[in-house]
Copies of this chain bind each other. A is one copy, B any other.
Amino acid sequence: MEFKEAKNKFVQTWGALGSQWGINKTMAKIHALLMVSNEPVSMEDIMEELQISRGNASMNLRSLMDWGIVYKEYKAGERKEFFTAEKDLDELAVKISRERSKREIKPTLKILKEVSTIEAKDSAEEKHFVDQTTKLYDFVLKADNMLDKMTEFNDNWLGKLVMKMMK
């Protein structure tokens, strides 16, 4: 396989993966493209490489910057804007994790708290509902904290210990 083919394959694969999670395909592709580029890329080049419109490129770059995983750069002398992706993977994971927590997990926890604290009458049905949603609340909270700590303590002894556990 030669370089151009490999690059394309990578970008398409990352795009498909993104769409399987909540991220749109083009957004993921742009991110992929930037991750494997060794220097800042202009909007023109992104449009050209991915065959997308200016509006599309602009909107998805905006989203990526909102997520904090793509940065705008200015080259001296050049009028155009250039873009780079966060390339440090640990840092990337932290940012994605934080963002998803903020956008999805926290609001969900709020609702779970609400619905799990209704006054349960004595029907088995209602008791089960309260019981199950309470467990869910605890579980989601635990998982959220865990993810948070895991990304935070990336390179330290705990991380290494966990690594060792994996043989």
A76 is an interface residue with CB less than 8 A from chain B: no
Copies of the polypeptide in the assembly: 2
* B17 and A114 form a contact (CB under 8 A): no
A89 contact set on B, CB distance < 8 A: 135-136, 139
Q: How far is the CB of A151 from chain B (nearest CB, A)?
A: 11
A62 is an interface residue with CB less than 8 A from chain B: no
Partner of A114 from the list B1, B112, B126, B128 (CB cut-off 8 Å) is: B1
Chain A interface (Cβ < 8 Å from any Cβ of B): 1-3, 6-7, 9-10, 13, 17, 19-22, 35-38, 87, 89, 93, 104, 108, 111-112, 114-115, 118, 120-121, 124-129, 132-133, 135-136, 139, 142-143, 145-146, 149-150, 153, 158, 162-163, 165-166
